Structure 1
Amino acid sequence: MDRLANTVRPYAWGSTTAIPALLGTPPTGAPQAELWMGAHPGAPSRLDRGTGPVSLADLIEADPEGELGEAALRRFGPRLPFLLKVLAAGSPLSLQVHPDREQARQGFEDEEERGVPIDAPHRNYKDTNHKPELICALEPFDGLCGFRPTREAAELIEALGVDALKPLVDLLRALPEAEALRDALTTVLTTEQGRVAETVEPAAAAAERLACVPGPFASDYAAYASIARAHPGDPGVIAAMLLNHVRLSPGEALYLGAGVPHAYLSGMGVEIMANSDNVLRCGLTQKHVDVKELLKVVVFRGSGPGVLRPEPGEDGEQVYPTPIDEFRLSRYVLDGVGPRKVAAGVPQILLCTDGSATVRERGAAVGEAADGGCDLGSRGGELVLARGESAFVPAGTGVEIDGEGTVFRATVVV
């Protein structure tokens, strides 16, 4: 097992204080948005096994079976199929959606055939992979996730009292759900720019006022007013009102599958995703919005946001259930009573987010079952993780963790 040195990405929407507080470092005054842990080529983690720093990506490339294990190598190829992050939002991110695997493949091949440069600002598909995500709150965390039921969306928008939005309300009430949501989003994103401002500004002002009035949508209006302050005049402000606003408590999570429109608004959380850069944006951004392509990808279905809470696993592990294999996120809340065995046979990253944790090798063999079955004795290896620190554990290493704090475990399903 190896302690990781990780890169902080300074995106403009990032908090200036949250990640420094997690890492115990002084703020620089600049936004620090994401702490990346993994082997993504954009910013791979680094580690040192006694011969100097090397990237995790290079280490895996040199010995994929030794690092990933035979089962993960067979299932996912010679790469770590997930990226783990700590995400700290100081202002709203763009409203976006991700394609499924087949949509990504077709879109990538089409743009390649048309000769669209991979780094072109209007390029939609950077690779052939899908990008499911899971975000778990470390503190109160606000976001948008999935469409509201149309009747609820119509009621919320109608209460704003903005005449220019009445046709949108009528549309939401008159058509079947999928058709209504498709037409509503299309209308919002294709409205002439001059008319957008005439709609967004009074809607934002009304949301600001209604946020202070007791009612079922007061907290939602507060969120939309905040979005409008960060993105004045952006049509995404109205698009956001079609979506569920959700506030996660620490330990709660959201799973974001293909086609689900979403945006993170504020707060810090642990995020895990499949290795992909495929994003189609719906608004709240200065970047390219391809409405035609977006409408092919979005799933037009109204529902609740689907907040996840962890389910009990083996030896104190708390697992966040998801329907995909590229990643599996869980956590251990350590109470200092005794060590917890962590299953081996798969590559994994351990991240301490609170307190401290001691990680000890158990000498597990590569073939040990993923349920952590046998304990082959200690090799004496030990690593203490402070808050904000992480470690990579190769597939052939069994470990146990002890201490007082919280440790997140990122791995795969094979």
Structure 2
Amino acid sequence: MYPLRCCVKKYEWGRKGMDSAVARMVKNQIPEYVVDDDSPHAELWMGTHPSGPTMIVSSDPELDGKTLLNLLQTYPEYVGTVNIVNKYGDNLPFLFKVLSVGTALSIQAHPNKKLAEELHRTDPFHYPDANHKPEMAITLTDFEAMCGFRPHAEIEAFLDNVPEFRAVIGNEATTNYKNASDKKQGLKQLFVTLMSAPETVVIQNLEALVQRWSREETIDPDKEALRQLFLKLYSQFPNDIGCFAIFYLNYLKLKPGEAIYLGQDEPHAYIVGDCMECMACSDNVVRAGLTPKFKDVKTLSNMLTYISKSAKEQIFEPKIVDEFTKSFVVPVPEFVVDEIRVDESHVSLAFEYTVTKKESGSILIVIRGEASCNGTQLTPGYVGFIPAVTALTINQLKSPLLIYRAYCRTD
């Protein structure tokens, strides 16, 4: 296993100082690393993407300081078996991350492969990749997100009971949506109408809802949670049309270890918390709200699937591999994420567990715990690359362990 040093992204939405899981992990591995209290640490990138290359750490001067991509180009068999190398070349097809979210990310979706290629060809500045970007988030802490369109009955209830939301949509568009025989098409028309609303109308009704909900009190916990979410989003992005997203996107409050899969062309936004994230190796984002960045409303409106599901249906369930490992197997071949969790009852220097070999290379990160792995000391924040067809042994367990490992499927 090759120890890695990974790229830190200090996006403004990241948690600041040592409140950030990213900052704590990096600091634990590099004691001399300086963490400023006012500096956001948003993402830790683990992979071969050129926008955030990962570096090898080695006592061998021939390897130390070289990129992981250099290593894989030198030893393509580390990437995977012949089938995998033929499919993806001397590169990893996934990008693995730790995210520490302090301020809501933009309402966004990621284009499918064909659209990604077209956007990259016509607007490479805003769309730097020609690849699709399906992704999955596995929570490390309590985590809040918006994900996928709500069931139609819920959206209709908000149109009936939140006059400010209905005022932006308009009575005609509301009626057309409620009476639509094709609910997907009706939802698309509703979304386009909302996103095309005059700025003055949007601002007027956002301000009206802020004033009303700032005064109101409610004993209904669901309504109170939504009220608090709206006021939080408005405080972060005043007068942004994305604040209305709470009425058409599912609001999820996830517990540590829960996951959501964000397929191509599906709208979502992270709100707060720490998570693992894995995706196809891409950095393409189409945004439409809760952001000062470039918004491409037309592209987003045309690309979304407009599939409605309940919040509960958005939770992605893992497969149980054995007593210690769960596997999050998503519907795309570029990545799988395994969770290896060993609790207090198994802490012992006699403990031993095999990290099984995979047909592709993989990246492993330690979230918590201390142990040994083939002579390497594992501590929080350790990141390592495991070449394809390589098994490792974890032993000398000193404290409860939580590890995540990303690799690609062979089909």
> TM-score scaled by structure 2?
0.87
Structure 1 residues 330 and 208, CA, compared in 2 at 3 Å: closer, same or farther? farther
Determine if the alignment matches structure 1 residue 59 to structure 2 residue 71. yes
* Secondary structure of the structure 1 residue equivalent to 2:371: strand
- For 1:188 and 1:92, the matched residues in 2 are separated by 20
Partner of 1:234: 240
SS at 1:217 equivalent? helix
Q: Which residue is 1:408 aligned to?
A: 404
Query: Could you list the per-position Cα deviations for residues 157-188 of structure 1 after superposition, in whole angstroms to 9, with x for gaps in the alignment?
Result: 43334362463654442324212221121112
Match among 314, 317, 327 for residue 319 of structure 1: 327
| Alignment counterpart, residue 153 of structure 1, candidates 137, 155, 161 | 155
Give, in angstroms, the shift of residue 150 of structure 1.
1.8
Q: Which residue of 2 aligns with 1:223?
A: 229
- Are 2:103 and 2:236, in contact at CA under 8 Å, matched by a contact in 1? yes
- Paired position in structure 2 for 1:364: none
User: Which whole-Å CA distance do the structure 1 matches of 2:90 and 2:109 have between them?
Assistant: 27
Aligned equivalents of 1:127, 1:247: Cα separation in 2: 31
> Secondary structure at the residue paired with 1:54?
coil
1:187-226 matches, within 5 Å, as 187-208=193-214, 212-226=218-232
Distance in structure 2 (CA, Å) of the matches to 1:30 and 1:212: 37
2:161 aligned partner, one-letter code: A
Alpha-carbon distance between aligned partners in 2 of 1:310 and 1:412, rounded to the nearest angstrom: 16
RMSD: 2.1
Distance 1:242 1:156, change over 3 A: same
Cα deviation for residue 23 of structure 1 reads 4.1
Paired residue secondary structure (1:84): strand
- Aligned equivalent of 1:340: 353
Q: Which amino acid aligns with 2:376?
A: L
Displacement of 1:249 = 0.2
Alignment match, 2:31: none
- Give the superposition deviation at 1:286: 1.7
Q: Percent identity?
A: 28
1:238-270 alpha-carbon deviations (Å, 9 max, x no partner): 134210000110000000001110000000001
Kindly report which structure 2 residues correspond to 1:297-312, keeping only aligned pairs within 5 A, or say none: 297-305=303-311, 306-312=314-320
Match of 1:92 among 104, 115, 119: 104
- Cα contact 1:347–1:394 (8 A) shared by 2: yes
Which of 244, 247, 261 is the aligned partner of 2:250? 244
CA contact (8 A) 2:79 2:90 kept: no
Q: Is the 8 A contact 2:79 2:92 kept in 1?
A: no
**Counterpart in the other structure of 1:378:** none
Question: 1:208 offset after TM fit, Å?
Answer: 4.6
Matched pairs, number: 383
Q: Structure 1's 210 and 92: CA in aligned 2 closer, same or farther, altered over 3 A?
A: farther
Q: Does 1:8 align with 2:17?
A: no
Query: Is 1:99–1:259's contact at 8 Å kept on the other side of the alignment?
Result: yes
Correspondence 1:177 to 2:179: no
Deviation for aligned residue 1:215:
4.9
- Normalising by structure 1, we get a TM-score of 0.87
- Which sections of structure 1, spanning at least 5 residues, go unmatched? 361-381
Alpha-carbon deviations, 1:122-145, whole Å to 9, x = none? x3x322211001001100000000
Which amino acid in the other structure matches residue 343 of structure 1?
A: T
